[in-house]
Chains A and B, each alone.
Chain A
Amino acid sequence: MKKKSQKRMITKDMLKTKSFYLKSKLLNRSRRGDPRLKSTKKMVDMVLNLNLKAIQQEKPITLTTILSPSEILYALDLIPICAETTASFLASFGLGDDFLTIAEKHFHSPETCSFLRCATGAVMDNLFPQPAAVIATTHLCDAGAKMISYASQVYDCEYFLIDIPQEKSEEAIDYVARQLEEMAQRLSELTGRKLSKEKLAKAIERSNEARRYALQANELRQSIPAPMRGSEALSYLYLPGIGFGSNETVEIYRKMAAELERRVAKKFSPLEEERHRLLWLHVKPYFPNRLFRYLEKEKKASIAFEEVNHIFWPELDPEQPFRSVAQKLNANLFQGPIDSYIELLLNLVEKYKVDGVVHYAHWGCRWNYGRMPNVKEALQAKGIPFLRLDLDSISSRDYFEGQLNSRIDTFLDMLS
């Protein structure tokens, strides 16, 4: 109860103060009996630090969509503030609906993705200082590019839209690489940050190092019992989203792999019991909720792995930074022919020895709903139980715990 009342006391204005971040950093480090991995705490620390640096305007800021070319931004020593992860951050403080209301008052439709609508509210409420530029990529969804376009008009700043085709081909990679190079040069001019081959190569090397640790961690998570709670792992979306290329991301995955290795060696699991093993698709609700408590603690269902943590791209070439980053963007598992994605899912089902798949469906996410029929059919054809869980990730307005739990109960009964 105490924790809840503390969260309720957080206000929008507090997020613009240095003391809020310093206090949050302290709380993140010193929570007693905290079951989280140290790497998770470190990741939360990274997010708080970036936000603190942003409000203090230590470095130029870029507002981006998730899955933007982060390696280039870190090479330029810029602060990337990601719209979608900012929304999840705000929702976790119970402020998601406040920012959604701000956007809706300014004629933003409540039917759009709430991650981006919440971030729009944050832009309108001047949560961040003026960015040097805003950046979006086109491969994930339409709404991201539109939200960033809107932000560029509010801030009256340059808008880079990296156009990424759905097809996975050398031609597409070349097309993206040339756009990235143009963007990097222009960003360098706009911010006065010098771009060099060395800086780019170092960012790529850091990205590769983080990737190697992440792969190790993912492999360790194949162990039974699960060495990590899936609900905790879902918050790592921040890193593939916008973290690769930074020193912190290397350190977080290094710690994660080491901690998981120790847990696996001891056969330690943070879950008391693992009655069912699940593969989780898409994201999660970020506002305070009891979904995972019910699933993991009460129903003893373990989320063995999440697609958002799958490392989908090959090792990058520091000698060819733009082409490499283009290749990474083009390799995204959420784009391109659905058949290769389904192949990957079936592979994950086997690797992580799961009994069923939960397809979390964030209301307003068109691409996720668009792929769902093919995913469901392919899994059912293989006899893999499938549950669609509709919920909004940011707004708690339509969160009805009882209904959600009933759906989970029915699904888990079927697995039994």
Chain B
Amino acid sequence: MKEFKTEVDFDSQINNSKLLSIGWLCTYTPEEVIYAAGFHPFRLLEDTPSTKLADTYLHYNLCPYVRSCLDFGLRKENQLLKGIIIVNSCDAMRGLYNIWSRYLSAETFVHFMELPKVATSLAVDYFKKEIQKLINSLEKHFGRRIKESALYEAVGIYNESRDLMSELYELRKDQSLPLNGTLVSRVVRAGQIIPKKTFNQKLKKLIAEIKTTRARADQPEKPRIMIVGSLLYNSQLIETVEEAGAVVVCDDLCTGSRYFEGRIEDRDNLVEALSRHYLLKTPCARMKDTSLRLEAGRKRVEEYRVDGVIYQTLKFCDNHLYDYPVYQEFFKKLDVPILQIENDFVGGNLGQIKTRIEAFIEMLSMV
């Protein structure tokens, strides 16, 4: 198979930006508000995370991602990081907020946002107030007003980004395209880290390249994989899957489609529109309604012609761990094989995982 090579550079290191920044951790954070406040919003997502410093504060049986974010804060390497928004997404995030506000609030502004687990009209109303509180809190701390026009512009830029990423994912449905999951994962990762306008330009260029340089060569059929679960720091796992002879065609990850799906249509009442968008999107495992995730998974299996599912969870992520038995049963009924991987992905220890992935792909190749 001819590999698709792009000239566009999607390398994303979180410390490369030269802009005053505010970090976020959970995809339920309304990034548009941070952008409208004049800061560069980026996700605390290190390519090669460490938890060495954080482990002296947080016990190792708490989420490795949360510990890696604390570690990033404790290293104090990023002088441009002016604040952090922590959302009440899970137990570990609450622990992180307590520690961050105790030990790092002198250096960085820290704001805690409530996040309902239900997507009812009552909850949308409640979350709307939370978004307004975030606006007020940023305005008060940094002494700058977040104008309606700035929020309007932010929503436009973020919508454009969402549309472009959706377009890229659409291209993955085309089996004749040599577009691999490793590249897409690097793109989505960059989307969470590099400035949005720059990212949108790069992504437009990439999409144009893909459309014009279609290498519709004689490609052997490869098992098509969907990755489901919590988050991936980098493309290492996807690379492992693809090196084993499969192609990753779609995902349900918070560092994947859960980050960008949907768009904000109502631009008259922006705060309410943001609340609706974030609460009503395809849910993370933390939300009440698991059936919506399952249904979205079933649709993806059909649309992307998925042969097998890899369910990956960060260690100690209760929300995703509890959903695995439900997923296992659901995909079994759909006759789609599923493999579970549970790891901290911090030490780069992929040896055992690699063996299991290879066996899984081999099994799919025989079908």
Task: Give the number of chain A interface residues (Cβ < 8 Å).
Answer: 41
Q: Are B58 and A373 in contact (CB under 8 A)?
A: yes
Q: Are B95 and A111 in contact (CB under 8 A)?
A: no
Chain B residues whose C-beta falls within 8 Å of the C-beta of A138 in the assembled complex: 117
Chain B residues whose C-beta falls within 8 Å of the C-beta of A113 in the assembled complex: 318
The answer, yes or no, to whether A142 is at the interface (CB within 8 Å) is: yes
Query: Whole-angstrom distance from the CB of B247 to the nearest CB of chain A?
Result: 26
Q: Are B123 and A370 in contact (CB under 8 A)?
A: no
Q: Complex: how many Å from CA A161 to CA B283?
A: 15
Considering only residues 78-96 of chain B, those with a C-beta below 8 Å from chain A are 88, 90-92, 94-96
Q: Are B88 and A165 in contact (CB under 8 A)?
A: yes
Chain B, Cβ-Cβ closest to A182: B122
Q: Complex: how many Å from CA A338 to CA B326?
A: 34
Known pairs A111-B315, A145-B288, A161-B288; A171 contacts B129 (CB<8 A): yes
Q: Are B117 and A107 in contact (CB under 8 A)?
A: no
The answer, yes or no, to whether A16 is at the interface (CB within 8 Å) is: no
Considering residues A106, A108, A374, which has the most beta carbons from chain B within 10 angstroms of its beta carbon? A374
Chain B, Cβ-Cβ closest to A124: B325
Considering only residues 40-87 of chain B, those with a C-beta below 8 Å from chain A are 57-59, 61-63
Known pairs A159-B288, A161-B118, A370-B58; A142 contacts B318 (CB<8 A): yes
Q: Are A109 and B57 in contact (CB under 8 A)?
A: no
Q: Are A111 and B321 in contact (CB under 8 A)?
A: yes
The answer, yes or no, to whether B262 is at the interface (CB within 8 Å) is: no
Q: Are A175 and B118 in contact (CB under 8 A)?
A: no
Q: Is the interface of A mostly helix, strand, loop or mixed?
A: helix
Q: Complex: how many Å from CA A175 to CA B102?
A: 29
Chain A residues whose C-beta falls within 8 Å of the C-beta of B126 in the assembled complex: 165, 171, 175
Query: Whole-angstrom distance from the CB of B98 to the nearest CB of chain A?
Result: 4
Q: Are A143 and B59 in contact (CB under 8 A)?
A: no
Q: Complex: how many Å from CA A165 to CA B133?
A: 14
- Provide the B325-361 mask, 1 if CB < 8 A to any CB of A, else 0: 1101000000000001010000000000000000000
Considering residues B88, B126, B315, which has the most beta carbons from chain A within 10 angstroms of its beta carbon? B126
Chain B, Cβ-Cβ closest to A373: B57
Query: Whole-angstrom distance from the CB of B68 to the nearest CB of chain A?
Result: 15
15 A–B contacts, CB within 8 A, in A order: A107-B325, A108-B324, A138-B117, A143-B91, A146-B285, A146-B322, A163-B116, A163-B118, A166-B112, A178-B122, A366-B92, A369-B62, A370-B62, A371-B95, A374-B99
Given contact pairs A146-B318, A149-B290, A363-B61, a sample of 9 additional A-B residue pairs in the complex whose CB atoms are under 8 Å apart: A146-B319, A167-B114, A171-B129, A366-B318, A369-B59, A370-B62, A370-B95, A374-B98, A374-B102
